[in-house]
Structure 1
Amino acid sequence: MTMFATTRPGLLHPLHAILLAFPVALFTGALAADIAYLNSAEMQWSNFAAWMIVFALVFGGPVLLWSLLLLVRRRNRGPARFYFAFLAVAWVLGLVNAFQHSRDAWASVGVAGLILSLLSTGLNLAAAWIGYSATVDREMVR
Structure 2
Amino acid sequence: MPSPYVPYSPSKAAIAGHTIHRLLTSFPIACFTLALATDIAYWRTSNLMWLEFSAWLLLAGITVGVVAAVFSAIFYLVRYGTRALRLGWTAAIGTLIVLVLAFFNNLVHATDGWTAIMPWGLALSALTVLAMLVTLWLGASLAYGPGTGGRTYD
Q: TM-score, normalised by structure 1?
A: 0.83
Q: Counterpart of 2:65?
A: 60
Residue 142 of structure 2 is aligned to residue 137 of structure 1: no
Unaligned runs of 5+ in 1: none
Higher helix share: 1
Answer whether contact 1:27 1:121 (CA < 8 A) is retained. yes
The 2-side partners of 1:33 and 1:7 are apart by 44
For 2:91, what is the secondary structure of its paired residue? helix
Unaligned runs of 5+ residues in structure 2 are 150-154
Three-state SS of the structure 2 residue aligned to 1:58 is helix
Residue 68 of structure 2 aligns to which amino acid in structure 1?
Answer: V
Deviation of 1:100 (Å):
0.5
Matches within 5 A, 1:76-87: 76-87=84-95
**Could you tell me how far apart the structure 1 residues matched to 2:84 and 2:75 are?**
10
Partner amino acid for 1:36? A
Q: Does 1:24 align with 2:29?
A: yes
Q: Secondary structure at the match of 1:104?
A: coil
Share of identical aligned residues, percent?
Answer: 28
Q: Shift of residue 66 of structure 1? A: 2.9
CA separation in 1, counterparts of 2:2 and 2:118? 55
What does 1:1-142 align with in structure 2 at a 5 Å threshold? 6-8=6-8, 14-73=19-78, 74-134=82-142, 135-137=145-147
Amino acid at match of 1:37: Y
Cα deviations by residue, 1:103-135 (Å, 9 ceiling, x for unpaired): 111111111111111111111222222223332
